[in-house]
Structure 1
Amino acid sequence: MKLTVQVKLLPTPVQAAALEETLHACNQAATWVSSVAFEKDVKRNFALREHTYMAVKDRWGLGAQAAQHVIKKTCDAYRTLKANLKAGNLGRPTSKRYRRATEKPVAFRLVGAQPYDDRMLSWQYAERTVSIWTLSGRMKGVVFTAAPEHVARLALCRRGESDLLSRDGMWFLTATCEVPEAELNTSVVEFLGVDLGIVNIATTSDGQIMAGRRLNRGRLREGVLRQKLQKKNTPSAKRRLKKRRRKEARRARDINHKIAKHVVAEAERTGRGIALEDLTGIRARVRLRKPQRATHSSWAFAQLGAFIAYKARRAGVPVVFVDPAYTSQQCCACGHIDKVNRASQALFICRNCGVVAHADRNASHNIAARGAAVWTAGRESRVPATP
């Protein structure tokens, strides 16, 4: 399986200036290549290379490998745009967002990521340095820092290209690693159900509740502070906004990693699989009052599900996604479904058998049962036995 490892570069001022010049030139060239691709309606790599390769080398002084990566990056951007349009992620063809994406060429930020292959970038893991191509020539001895386990993973599993990117004045390299997967445990019978929510981020069928109240209070404080700074609109307020803009996302990502690690470890320890709700498109399906929209849209359900899925693959734990319909209205004891069973956000009372339970725990038991049913149905043979 593929994982990405990000390391932080610690360049000297001279090295940082060379990296910045190179990154700006590559992205300016990519924007020009994108305009040619849009004008001539040529979005394939080799065909676009005939129109732009020599111009990119001569005009921006890029090397052969860098010029090819600029053209390939542009083609990949148009391929991604086409996939998003086909999937409906940018709305209907008549929508303003759809037209804005299709009526002009793709543009690249000056500090957008630039891919580097092994001809342009080499790693010295023992010295914690890299040798990297720039417009000023090959730059050796650029120091990087990373956790020891990440350096070991890079040394053993790194494959293919690495991306150079700049963020808030800091420099990073993101490398792709081919990590071996553990053998999938196909003998599981039971599943650990995980109910995802906002008040309680994750609730397992074992009864464990990962509450999100502290995170939601922090998010509320950040929102109030952001409004005050935006209203003030002074240079110092803008600097403070820029400094804090990724704080909430980093906190949410860290919590998602911790929850995913705990859930996978518990499933692996008990020899069970993991059952999750398929929440694809939930934001488009659910109608909410205006005060609830920001809270509902700010939590990364897809990110948490993706973290659980990839950590489970590394551990050999099977993961199934089930239909989330009525999991919060169905009684896990008798199966009765009724909207009034959900007495409140935290309380579930079955109108048929009288079971009283925590609402999220009840839903997690339903998810676990559906996961076991999906797993069993998938393993059953549909081919009739030969006489």
Structure 2
Amino acid sequence: MKLVVQVKLLPDAATEQALRETLTLCNRAANHVSRRAHATRIQEKTHLQRLVYGELKAMGLSAQPTIHTIRKVAGAYATLNGHLTAGNYGPQGARQRARVKASPIRFRKDAAQPFDDRCLSWQLQTRTVSIWTVRGRLQRIPFACSSEQAELLTRHRQGESDLVLRGGCWYLYATCDIPEPEPYAPDGFLGVDLGIANIATTSDGLRHAGKHLNQVRHRNRGLRKRLQAKGTKSAKRVLHRISGREARFAADVNHRISKSIVTEAERTSRGIALEDLGGIRERVRLRKPQRVALHSWSFQQLGAFIAYKALRAGVPVEHVDPAYTSQRCSACAHTDRRNRPDQASFVCTSCGFAEHADVNAARNIALRGAAGWAVSHAADDAA
């Protein structure tokens, strides 16, 4: 499996200026390539390289940064074409789809730039790197990382690393290819129900409450709304400073929740059963205040965090259909909308079983996970 290790560069003022000029030139070149790709409809990396390689060299890029800049543009167009094919910008004839197709992809002047081992070398014992810049190759730039990150880099780093400028700080994102442990045969499944009132609830009854999280999101939305309405230069500076705050907050919470769930499953030798969240925003019907909460929380990210942490620990994961898990009784399997008298309660109209609604749903998800595992592995055994 592939993991991205993020380390923080600690450049001095001169080095920082050289890095900034390098990103600016690379992204100016990327915008040039993007315009040429859009005008000529040549977007495959090999053909695009033949078209613009000499032009980028004339702009001041050396050979490897030129190739990586062209690959970056080709990859961006491949992603865009994938979204268009999937209909993510609307059907044929939609205004948004036409607007996206009518203009070339644009890159920010400080967008991330990939470097391979010819342009970037790591000295892990001294915690320094050397990197190509428009001012020549800069040596012994210190970086900060944890001991665990250093071990991952030493043992498993492969391929490219991305130079990233975020919030005024410089980072390197390095890809590490880690061998996957063989999943064990689970002794049951830990079901996980995802929601708004409770971000995650397990079939053991543990609830990761969403009240505080929703308060933080509501406060951030109000602050952004007031600053945008004000529209002054100082308000825009504050908006820029707090940009990404909620995304970082969500990622931190999702990391902590996912680590707790995977640790408990591993401790008890169980697998993890997750809802298949594909299309959740399209199929769920909610009132407007709840819609805001649904669209602002990264449920897909939480599911992805649980899945990759489980894969790394060798914990089996099953994705199940979440249909009617909130209306189905986990004790007798009776399914009825009337089993949910309110958001938090579940009382079965058939057998009288009562439980918190999210815990009941998580138990149904755990049962479906166990059934799915049994079916899939029975087929494997028969084959």
Q: TM-score by structure 2 length?
A: 0.97
- Change in Cα spacing, 1:382 to 1:17, as seen in structure 2 (3 Å) is closer
| Percent of paired sites with the same residue | 54
User: 2:228 maps to what in 1?
Assistant: 230
In the alignment, is the contact (CA less than 8 A) between 1:331 and 1:337 conserved in 2?
yes
Judge conservation of contact 1:182–1:314 (CA < 8 Å) in 2: yes
CA-CA distance at 1:253 after TM superposition: 0.7
Could you tell me which of 200, 203, 206 is aligned with 1:205? 203
Using the TM superposition, name which of 322-331 and 289-298 deviates more. Answer: 289-298
- Give how far 1:149 is off: 1.1
Please provide the CA RMSD for this pair.
Answer: 1.5
Give, as a single letter, the amino acid of the residue that structure 1 aligns with 2:264.
E
How many aligned residue pairs are there? 383
Q: TM-score by structure 1 length?
A: 0.96
- 1:192·1:272 contact (CA, 8 Å) conserved in 2? yes
In 2, Cα distance between equivalents of 1:308 and 1:338: 30
Amino acid across the alignment from 1:341: N
382 and 250 in structure 1: CA distance in 2 versus 1, 3 angstrom threshold: closer
Aligned counterparts of 1:302 and 1:3: Cα–Cα separation in 2: 18
Partner-residue secondary structure (3-state), 1:34: helix
**AA aligned opposite 1:12:** D
Matched, 1:261 2:259: yes
Q: Name the counterpart of 1:299.
A: 297
**1:35 positional shift:** 1.4
Corresponding residue for 2:176?
177
Matches within 5 A, 1:305-320: 305-320=303-318
Give the alignment partner of residue 195 of structure 1, picking from 171, 187, 193. 193
Q: How does 1:1-387 map to 2 (within 5 A)?
A: 1-58=1-58, 60-185=59-184, 187-381=185-379
Rounded Cα–Cα distance in structure 2 between residues aligned with 1:217 and 1:232: 23
Deviation at 1:169, TM superposition (A): 1.9
User: What is the alpha-carbon distance in structure 2 between the residues aligned to residue 43 and residue 339 of structure 1?
Assistant: 51
- The alignment partner of 1:360 has SS state of helix
Counterpart-to-counterpart distance in 2, 1:51 and 1:329: 59
Per mean C-alpha deviation after superposition, the further-off stretch among 27-36 and 363-372 is 27-36
How far the C-alpha of 1:381 sits from its partner, in A, is 2.8
CA distance in 1, matches of 2:245, 2:25: 30
Residue 201 of structure 1 aligns to a residue whose secondary structure is: strand
What one-letter code is carried by the residue in structure 2 that aligns with 1:121? L
What is the deviation of 1:382?
A: 7.7
Q: Deviations over 1:262-283 (max 9, x none)?
A: 1111111111100000011111
Quote the offset at 1:223 in angstroms: 1.8
Deviations 1:297-352 (A, max 9, x none): 11111100000001001111000100010000111111111111111110011111
Matched residue type, 1:103: A
Quote the offset at 1:251 in angstroms: 1.3
Q: Which runs of 5+ in 1 are unaligned?
A: none
Q: CA deviation at 1:287?
A: 2.6
Q: In 2, distance between residues paired with 1:382 and 1:49?
A: 45
The CA deviation at 1:233 is 2.4
Please, which moves more after superposition, 312-321 or 6-15? 6-15
Cα displacement string for residues 123-150 of structure 1 (whole angstroms, at most 9, x for unaligned residues): 1112221100001100112121122211
Which letter does structure 2 place at the counterpart of 1:44? E
- Name the SS of the counterpart of 1:336 in structure 2: coil
Which 4+ residue blocks in structure 1 deviate beyond 3 angstroms?
Answer: 382-385
Shift of 1:2: 0.2
The change in CA–CA distance for 1:70 and 1:343 in structure 2 (over 3 A counts) is same
| In 1, Cα distance between equivalents of 2:47 and 2:100 | 23
Q: Deviation string for 1:97-124 (max 9, x for gaps)?
A: 2222212221111111111000000111
- Write the distance in 2 (CA, Å) between the matches of 1:52 and 1:201: 48
Q: Residue type matched to 2:250 in 1?
A: A
Q: 1:148-187, CA deviations, whole angstroms, 9 ceiling, x for partnerless residues?
A: 21122111110000011212222111010011222211x2
> How far is 1:383 from its partner?
8.9
SS across alignment from 1:69: helix
Distance 1:16 1:266 in 2: 43
